[in-house]
């Protein structure tokens, strides 16, 4: 069976999952990758730190900062 076009794939995904499905551009990106032979859907390793580095230590630091400056205002 030949692969479907990405627009048809997007339609089928939206039909199955409704508004909680991925955006059109994401669907076309995945469709292209899978059509080119990618078989693994897990994220590939990337260099650098994650955009959301959340550690217990950092959360504690932010909470302490917010609690000590309750009377501060933004300008």
Hey, where are the domains in the chain?
A: 1-35
Closest residue by Cα to residue 3 from 45, 41, 33: 33
Over pLDDT 90: what percentage of the chain? 3
Average pLDDT in the 43-72 region?
A: 76
At which residue do the structure tokens 């990618």 appear?
38
Distances (CA, A) of 27 to 14, 32, 67: 10, 9, 43
How many other β-carbons are positioned within 10 Å of the β-carbon of residue 35? 13
pLDDT at 1 over 60: no
Closest residue by Cα to residue 27 from 14, 16, 39: 14
Quickly state the pLDDT bin for 72 (edges 50, 70, 90).
Answer: low
What is the pLDDT, as a whole number, of residue 36?
92
Question: Tokens for 74?
Answer: 């933004």
Supply the mean pLDDT for the chain: 77
């Amino acid at each position: 069976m030949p692969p479907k076009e990405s627009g048809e794939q997007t339609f089928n995904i939206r039909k199955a999952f409704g508004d909680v499905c991925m955006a059109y551009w994401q669907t076309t990106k995945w469709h292209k990758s899978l059509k080119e032979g990618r078989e693994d859907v897990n994220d590939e390793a990337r260099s650098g730190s994650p955009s959301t580095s959340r550690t217990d230590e950092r959360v504690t630091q932010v909470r302490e900062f917010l609690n000590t400056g309750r009377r501060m205002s933004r300008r």
